[in-house]
Amino acid sequence: MSTRADMFALAPGFTATATACGLKPNDALDMALIAADAPCSAAGLFTTNRVKAAPVIYDQDVLATNAGSIRAVVINAGNANACTGPQGAANCRAMAEMTAERLGCRAEQVMVLSTGVIGRQLDMAKVTQGIAALTGPNAQQGAGAAARAIMTTDTCPKVAARTIPVAGKMVTIAGMCKGAGMIHPNMATMLAIVTTDAQASPAILDLALRYAADRSFNRVSVDGDTSTNDTLLLLASGASGIPVSDTFAEDGLAFEQFTATLTEVCTDLAKQIARDGEGATRLVEITVSGAQDEQQAHQVANAIARSPLVKTAIHGGDPNWGRIVCAAGYSGAAIAPDRLALWFGPASSPIQLVANGLPLDADLAAASALLRQDPVFITLDLGLGAAHTTIWTCDFSKEYVEINAHYTT
C-alpha cells in the first residue's frame, strides 16, 4: 500500500536519496541526502538551547557566508553529534567535505543535520560508507525514502506540499520533517527541510521562514523540552523562473502569497509532529482567544499545552477543566480569572464548561467523550481583547514514559 510519503516529491530542482549504514539497528534507513541541481538560496532557523550540536554551529557558519550558493544537505539519524567536543565538530566538517567531494562542490556549500542520542561520537566508518552510498547507484531514490531515513522515535514519515499558480506556471513548496519527542516552541528535537522552486534571495527566504515558523513550528509542543539539534531549513532552487517579490509584477509571486503558502506547509508538518508525539493517541488543538495581544494568547496556550496534568487528563478522557484554568493562571500572563470562559469540542458543536471564571452545569459525560475524540479541541477565552492564537500538542500516555525511560538502553 502506497503512503503519502511514497508519493511525495521535493520541489523541482532538488533530488533526494537515502541509505542504511548501520547507525540505526535492523538495517533501517539512517542517512539522507537532499541535493540541488545548481547552487541555491537558503535560510535557516536553529535551536535556542545554549547547548548546541556540532551541526547546528556548523550550519549557522555556512549560512553566514554561503547562503546564496548551497548545493546539498546531508542528514544522519541515530546520533545527534551533540556534546561531542572538537572531535564532533571535526566529524561534522568531514561529513560536509565527503559529500562535497562526491557532488563536485565545496564543503561550505553543504549543510549537515544530525539527530539521535546525545553525547556519543559518530561512527565515521559507517558515515563514510553511508555518504558513498547516498551518491552511488544503489541509493534509494526519492523524498519519501529520505523522510523515513531521518526518523528517530517517529512512527511515520512527515511530508507536506502546496502549489501556487503564477502566470500560467506553478510554484511548488514541499517539505519534510522529523520529530516526536523533545518538542516545544523554539522548535525542539525537530529537523525540517522545506524546498521551493521559486526564485528568492536568502534575505527574502529568511523573512518568510521566520514568519512561517512563528505560526507553525513555534506553536507545537509535545513534552516541553527543547533540544540541541533543532534545525529548520528553506531552500530555493529558482527552477520555476518565478521570482518572489515584495513589489507587484505580472510574472512574479507576491511575498505575502509565498509566505502564506509556506506557513500552510509548515503548519501541516507541525501538526503531524504533534499527532505523532511519543506515545500519543490523539492530536490536541488549544485555542486561546480574547487576549490583549498575540503574545499573551501564546503565553497562556503554551502553559496549557505543556502541562502534564492537562495532557494526562486528556488521555484519560477526564473533563477536569480546573487543570486548564490552573495552567492559564500560572502562565505568567496577566489574566482576569473572573472573565475566563472555556469550551471543549469543535467550533461547530462545543460544550461550554466555564463562564465568567465559574463552572457551568455542563454535561460532563459528553465533555469526556469530546476529550476522547481525535483531534481534541479546547478553547479558552480570556475576555480581555481580540487577539488569539492556536497551539498543537498531544495527550500523555504511559508509552511516553516507557519510550524515554529506555531511550539509550
Which residues are known to be catalytic? 189
Rounded distance between C-alpha atoms, residue 87 and residue 182, angstroms: 25
C-alpha distances (whole Å) from 221 to each of 153, 284, 298, 339, 400 are 16, 10, 12, 26, 14
Rounded distance between C-alpha atoms, residue 396 and residue 225, angstroms: 14
Kindly report the CA angle at 298 between 186 and 304, in degrees rounded to 5? 95
Rounded distance between C-alpha atoms, residue 93 and residue 64, angstroms: 16
Rounded distance between C-alpha atoms, residue 375 and residue 344, angstroms: 11
Kindly report the CA angle at 149 between 146 and 151, in degrees rounded to 5? 120
Rounded distance between C-alpha atoms, residue 18 and residue 140, angstroms: 5
Rounded distance between C-alpha atoms, residue 371 and residue 147, angstroms: 31
Q: What is the DSSP letter of 107?
A: G
Rounded distance between C-alpha atoms, residue 172 and residue 182, angstroms: 30
Amino acid at 222: V
Rounded distance between C-alpha atoms, residue 32 and residue 30, angstroms: 7
**H or E element, residue 355:** strand 351-355
